[in-house]
Chains A and B, each alone.
Chain A
Amino acid sequence: MYDAIAHMTVTVLLFASYAEAFGASSLAVEVAGNATVADVLSNVRTHPGADRLPPMPLVAVNQQYADPHALVRDGDEIALIPPVAGG
């Protein structure tokens, strides 16, 4: 493996109460090249405001709900989804 692909920076989109909690609409998160959704979440939890996240927040990858074990690829659109309240 080349060192250049050992790590990647992914952008995590934040909305509604989560955007308020982190004081931002997105976070740049550095993870290993073979990272999962759970790895991204672990990193997000190191940011100020993360104490307001529930134990298992919903995550979407490329606009689809994703399992914590799902692999993340460079360039993926990752989003934390607060409890939805449409209607």
Chain B
Amino acid sequence: MTPLASLVRAPIDPIALVRAASSPRNGAVILFLGAVRQVNEGRDVTGIDYAAYEAMAQRELQAIVDEGATRFGTADVVVEHRLGELQVEDVSVGIAVGHAHRDAAYAASRWVIEELKRRVPIWKREHYTDGTREWVDPTGHVGAGSPR
């Protein structure tokens, strides 16, 4: 199949991703799932809402799977990222890569998630047990709504 990237609001179906990345050419299929973690930087998290600049996020995500497919030599790269309100343990991102060989499949899967985290305009706001909510800033700068 052609490399496929989607932003979704419904729960991600990991088996559907695996099926989409499977082909008679592939000796390996790698499934990566990112999930909402209960504790982040020492704070108890009850859920996360994901927001995006949707048109650009869709475009960047598609560019990543297309680039990944070319770079690693497979057409079978599939990514879904969820938007909206998620609970702890919910799957926020799913990546499936099929390849003739496992080394390249692992490498491609890793490359896709790192590129996604580096350049796709998606943001998450963590909800904490004390009722507060904050946008996560992976660069470590003080975010809006935080004390200075």
Contact = CB atoms under 8 A, between A and B. Distances in A.
A18 B124 contact: no
A16 interface: yes
B15 interface: no
Interface stretch (B23-31, B67-75, B103-111, B134-142): B134-142
B116 A87 contact: yes
A87 B121 contact: no
A17 B137 contact: yes
Given A16-B135, A21-B144, A60-B56, A82 B123 contact: yes
Interface of chain B, helix or strand or loop or mixed? Answer: mixed
Contacts of A20: 135, 144-145
What is the interface residue range for chain A against chain B?
A: 20 to 34
Given A17-B123, A18-B144, A52-B144, A85 B93 contact: no
The 7 closest A-B pairs by CB, nearest first: A86-B122, A16-B123, A17-B144, A63-B56, A17-B135, A21-B144, A83-B139
Interface of B: 34, 50-53, 55-57, 59, 81, 92-93, 113, 116-125, 135-139, 141, 143-145
Given A85-B138, A87-B92, 14 more contacts: A15-B123, A16-B135, A17-B144, A17-B145, A54-B139, A60-B121, A63-B59, A79-B56, A83-B138, A83-B139, A85-B122, A86-B116, A86-B121, A87-B113
